[in-house]
Amino acid sequence: MWHEILFRVLSIINYVVLIIIAIPLLLQIFYVLFSFVKKKTWKKSDVKGRVAYLIPAHNEEDVIFETVKSLLEKQTYPREKFDVFVVAHNCTDRTAELAGQAGAKVLVLDDPDPAHRMALYPMKHGVDHIIGLEGDAAYDFIIRIDADNHVNPEFTSLMNDAFQAGVEFARSYEGALNGTQNFYTKACALFYAFDSRFGSRVRERLGIAAHINGSGSMMSVKMLKECGGYDCKTITEDAEFNFNRMLEGKKGHFVEDAVAYEDMPSSFRVTLSRNKRIGSGSMELLKGQLLKMFGKFFTTGNFSYLEMFLTYIFNFLAILISVWVPLYYVYHFTYTALVANGTIAVTWMSVNYYSDMLWTTLWCAVGIIGGLFVLFGFGQAAILAIVDYRKLGAKRRRELISAVLLFPAFLVLYAVTLCIGAMSKPDEWGKTTRNVPPPQAEEGD
């Protein structure tokens, strides 16, 4: 009968979908299992390069003063060897004023084009300015951080050690400023730390290229000049820049002891807004450069290209996980149950066949989902809470217990929000709700 043919066809399609989902997932499980390999460190260098911190900012008066002040006063690096640049992009508040009061070199960028309301354009502006400086004013490398970020005191020195050892492109550990504020911040801190503690450490030890994205990334001026500056076009400009450099043959590295502490999303709305940007931008990369990354693996044999493809394709797979998987299994269990109780007549196979399939599929689903939740949910969250709780903004491990217990539920939520992002346009770069205290400069106003 036609419904039996449909059932067979959809079953075959589902097997293919599960294989497609399983391959990148197995890679992530590998990172968890081998996460206790020794971290990579670089030899302390006596040579101190000139460093430019670059902060793209849009209406960040709530946090910019403390961010700049912290950078300039708390780094163990020689003060004369680094500066902080803030690009005030279409600001209608006191961002530029407060950044200047804190000691930053302020670049004001007024750009009326509504299509330019994203971090890409202040990054381009800042990079072009910095790499254009010459003589004593020139810099050796740039470190990009966000307006609400803080870094550990050794951050500049650690990045310089890597740079002096020949590293032109690197990322830091992604920590949390407000990791214990509520469930969302705890779960987000655990989630974003995953790629630092597991993926990035294992990649570095195996010689696989690091994923350089977002705050805490280091870029040599020499490399930037060679590629013509910050040559990006999409809203996920940080990931795009990483792709561009990889396709040119550049290899990114992970400097694990350098920690960039970020303000984590504290509500579903903020999480959704961030993931709309990530999901939408990843789809742009998928349509453009991600397939090039896949092809580059076959022309070079370099596993880094395949690994990058498998990691970023997961943003597309979020659609399959959030849409196909639940819809298919609702159909599967409904159909087999109706056949098993005699509501639907079948001719190809016996009723017992469908009855056995119903229970076999149910127990397999319970086993697979349970196993993934234990290893990929509770397991990875527990490891992070035990070994890296301070980097996640906690003073005691027990502060993260609730997030560990509910982390599998957060992963489902995260996949759904990525799915929404992949199928929608991202929010514009507006004023962001911050969770950190206002700048000290304003307390006496």
Residues 155/64, Cβ–Cβ less than 8 Å: no
What pLDDT does 234 receive? 82
Residue 40 predicted with pLDDT over 70: yes
What pLDDT does 31 receive? 87
What single string gives the DSSP state of each residue in 260-287?
EEE----SHHHHHHHHHHHHHHHHHHII
Residue 153 predicted with pLDDT over 50: yes
Of the listed ranges 1-5, 405-409, 426-430, the least confidently predicted one is: 426-430
* All residues at 6 or more sequence positions from 119 whose CB lies less than 8 Å from its CB, including other chains: 56, 237, 429
Mean pLDDT along residues 119-145: 95
What pLDDT does 128 receive? 96
Give the separation between CA 9 and CA 348, rounded to whole angstroms.
Answer: 14
Query: Highest mean pLDDT range out of 105-119, 246-260, 274-288?
Result: 246-260
Mean pLDDT along residues 77-88: 96
For 91-117, give one letter per residue: b (16+ CB within 10 A) or e.
beebbbbbbbbbebbbbebeeeeeeeb
How many C-beta atoms surround the C-beta of residue 173 within 10 A?
26
Among 97, 156, 166, smallest CA distance to 442 is for 97
Residue 76 predicted with pLDDT over 90: yes
Mean pLDDT of the residues in the chain = 87
Residue 421 predicted with pLDDT over 80: no
What are the pLDDT digits (tens) for 238-277? 889 999 999 999 999 999 999 999 988 888 788 777 777 7
Residue 363 predicted with pLDDT over 90: no
What pLDDT does 435 receive? 56
What pLDDT does 444 receive? 34
Residue 433 predicted with pLDDT over 60: no
Residues 254/170, Cβ–Cβ less than 8 Å: yes
Residue 415 predicted with pLDDT over 70: yes
Cα 438 to Cα 64, 89, 242, 429, distances in angstroms: 9, 20, 33, 20
Among 157, 185, 148, 123, smallest CA distance to 261 is for 148
Q: Rg of the chain's alpha carbons, rounded to an integer?
A: 24
For 11-127, strand residue ranges (E) read: 51-57, 82-89, 105-109
Give the separation between CA 108 and CA 37, rounded to whole angstroms.
Answer: 45
Of the listed ranges 45-49, 81-85, 141-145, 419-423, the least confidently predicted one is: 419-423
DSSP 206: H
Cα 424 to Cα 315, 353, 378, 417, distances in angstroms: 13, 42, 31, 10
Give the separation between CA 423 and CA 72, rounded to whole angstroms.
Answer: 41
Residue 159 predicted with pLDDT over 60: yes
- State the Cα torsion 26-28-32-34 to the nearest 10°: 80
Residue type at position 98: L
Of the listed ranges 176-180, 262-266, 385-389, 422-426, the least confidently predicted one is: 422-426
Higher pLDDT, 61 or 28: 61
What are the pLDDT digits (tens) for 176-189? 988 888 888 888 88
* Residue 84 pLDDT class (50, 70, 90 cuts): very high
Domains, the chain: 51-183+208-264 (3.90.550.10)
* All residues at 6 or more sequence positions from 57 whose CB lies less than 8 Å from its CB, including other chains: 64, 86, 87, 88, 89, 91, 95, 99, 122, 147
What pLDDT does 437 receive? 44
Give the separation between CA 355 and CA 319, rounded to whole angstroms.
Answer: 30
What pLDDT does 205 receive? 93
DSSP 45: -
Among 358, 412, 369, 406, smallest CA distance to 385 is for 406
Among 352, 339, 411, 336, smallest CA distance to 376 is for 411
Residue type at position 22: A
**C-alpha angle 181-435-431 in degrees, rounded to nearest 5:** 150
Mean pLDDT along residues 43-62: 96
Among 55, 253, 54, 257, smallest CA distance to 169 is for 253
Higher pLDDT, 290 or 185: 185
Mean pLDDT along residues 90-116: 93
What are the pLDDT digits (tens) for 318-359? 788 888 888 989 998 898 899 888 888 878 788 888 888 888
Model pTM score: 0.86
Residue 384 predicted with pLDDT over 60: yes
Give the separation between CA 126 and CA 134, rounded to whole angstroms.
Answer: 15
Higher pLDDT, 398 or 105: 105
Residue 394 predicted with pLDDT over 70: yes
Of the listed ranges 24-28, 32-36, 417-421, 431-435, the least confidently predicted one is: 431-435
What pLDDT does 277 receive? 74
Q: How far is CA 305 from the centre of its chain?
A: 17
Mean pLDDT along residues 411-429: 71
* Residue 91 pLDDT class (50, 70, 90 cuts): very high
Consecutive H or E run containing 7: helix 2-33
